[in-house]
A = this chain, B = another copy of it.
Amino acid sequence: MHGTAELIFTGDELLRGDIVNTNQAFLGECLLDVGLFTTHALSVTDDLDAIASALQAALIRRPDVVVISGGLGPTEDDLTREAVSSALGRPLEHHDELLEQIRTRFVQLGMNMGDSNRKQALIPEGATAVPFIGTAPGFWLVSGDTLVAALPGVPRELATMWTETVEPLLKSRLSASGAKDGRPVLGVIVRRLRVYGIGESTLAELLGDIPWRGHGVDIGTRAALDGLTLILRAQPTAEAHATLARIEEQVRDILGTKIYGTGDADLAGVVGGLLRDRGLTVATAESCTGGLVAKRLTDIPGSSDYFLGGVVAYSDRLKTAMLDVEPALLDERGAVSEEVAAAMAVGACRRLGADCAISTTGIAGPGGGSVDKPVGLVYVGTTLGGDVQVRSFTMFRSREEIRIRTAQTALDVFRRRFLDPLDR
């Protein structure tokens, strides 16, 4: 049903663990979007024979495309040009106009071009240079039925060269071959539904009865600290498209308001949209999250339209001084309590002059827990239209995870205040 792709990454830094390979996930997702499934993604040491062997092994499996990333710089460890040349028996050729482009780029960047950069103007016989944004040109060529594209390892440069050159090239090749041998032309239809408030196993149970297998639709889940993403993919046929739409409807019936958005939606952005639509302003009052809720809200460009500001009241004294929480309340109930969460939210509204507020107080750990109030106990307060509500949660694992989940939960609790009471 799918065509296939293979990825080869060169660079000892990937194998030493100096950096995490984010290009693999990026390209895997991009390739699926044009209907190609990646079967092998190999990180290989900076060794000419190892890279050349990897390319030959990939070509034997006859994928539609092999993308090689990295090894296009000027140093002696940059061996992709030589490895492709050696694997395919295509001598490297010097291209004057490419050298000129590299020279111009160095001038633009105000940098000196070294002698070593001259070798970046070499590409294998029959290859075409890919326009570049850094100082490393890429190239592509066709070997058998396979498109071989060599791109830099720098994620920004790779992404630009993928989008501007390789993707269009691949689409046109796949359309042409699809027309020829009758396989589905290209382009998987993808819907991403963002879900918060349930775990992966609950999600699997809830959706267990939806009959999607064998209908040209594929369902995947991505779990992260900020929730789940349900990924629906369908072949680009009218039938599969209709099936996908029907399945999405069933999923939405089951999950309801647990779905907070689609695509790359961010809960902070969703909350921002709700506030903007209603012309409301918000303030934050944070203890255990230490500024993370405010940070999340201000991640969104234009958030100054509705976010006024916040107070991080980490010490009890500041909960009183900056948010008017009664000292008696702190003494009697403790800083981590329903009553203090409510008082912080109310205080933030009043002191910062906002229409509504979000507050957090809890025990992020690793120290500070007790039998009554264990590490992970968190209260989230929200005010909306003068009405204050508090909910409590128990979070797990590390301090970092507890804080990230608390901030995301606070945003979700606040979002739910805007829903129909029956849907909350």
The residues of A with any CB-CB pair to B shorter than 8 Å are 12-22, 24-30, 32, 37-45, 47, 50, 54, 57, 220-222, 229, 231, 284, 286, 289-295, 297-299, 301-304, 307-315, 317-318, 321-322, 351-353, 365-367, 399-400, 403
A318 with B322: in contact, given A14-B24, A42-B40, A291-B293 (CB under 8 Å)?
no
Chain B residues near A15: list those with CB within 8 A: 28, 37-41
Name the distance in Å between A317's Cβ and chain B's nearest Cβ: 7
Question: A26's closest neighbor in chain B, by CB?
Answer: B17
Chain B residues near A294: list those with CB within 8 A: 290-291, 294, 312, 314
Q: Is the interface of A mostly helix, strand, loop or mixed?
A: mixed
Check A312 against B310 for contact (C-beta < 8 Å). Answer: yes
Residue among B47, B220, B312 making CB contact with A312, cutoff 8 Å: B312
Chain B residues near A400: list those with CB within 8 A: 299
Interface centre among A17, A47, A231, A313 (most CB of B within 10 A): A17
Check A40 against B44 for contact (C-beta < 8 Å). Answer: yes
Chain B residues near A37: list those with CB within 8 A: 12, 15-16, 45
Check A291 against B298 for contact (C-beta < 8 Å). Answer: yes
Chain B residues near A299: list those with CB within 8 A: 290, 399-400, 403
Check A312 against B290 for contact (C-beta < 8 Å). Answer: no
Interface centre among A15, A303, A308, A351 (most CB of B within 10 A): A15
Check A315 against B304 for contact (C-beta < 8 Å). Answer: yes
Name the distance in Å between A39's Cβ and chain B's nearest Cβ: 5
Residue among B20, B312, B352 making CB contact with A321, cutoff 8 Å: B352
A309 with B304: in contact, given A231-B18, A292-B291 (CB under 8 Å)?
no
- The complex places the Cα of A13 from the Cα of B218 at a distance, in Å, of 12
Chain B residues near A353: list those with CB within 8 A: 317, 321
Name the distance in Å between A245's Cβ and chain B's nearest Cβ: 21
Residue among B43, B314, B315, B366 making CB contact with A40, cutoff 8 Å: B43
Question: A311's closest neighbor in chain B, by CB?
Answer: B311
Name the distance in Å between A105's Cβ and chain B's nearest Cβ: 15
By Cβ-Cβ distance, the 3 closest A-B pairs, closest first, are: A290-B298, A17-B29, A291-B294
**Besides the contacts A291-B292, A291-B295, what 4 more A-B pairs have beta carbons closer than 8 Å?**
A19-B222, A299-B399, A301-B366, A312-B312
A295 with B292: in contact, given A21-B20, A312-B284 (CB under 8 Å)?
yes
- The complex places the Cα of A221 from the Cα of B366 at a distance, in Å, of 32
Interface centre among A24, A45, A351 (most CB of B within 10 A): A24
Name the distance in Å between A15's Cβ and chain B's nearest Cβ: 4
Question: A294's closest neighbor in chain B, by CB?
Answer: B291
Residue among B38, B45, B309 making CB contact with A39, cutoff 8 Å: B45
Chain B residues near A310: list those with CB within 8 A: 291, 311-312, 314
Question: A302's closest neighbor in chain B, by CB?
Answer: B367
Check B41 against A42 for contact (C-beta < 8 Å). Answer: yes
Chain B residues near A38: list those with CB within 8 A: 15-16, 45
Chain B residues near A50: list those with CB within 8 A: 39-40
- The complex places the Cα of A328 from the Cα of B106 at a distance, in Å, of 46
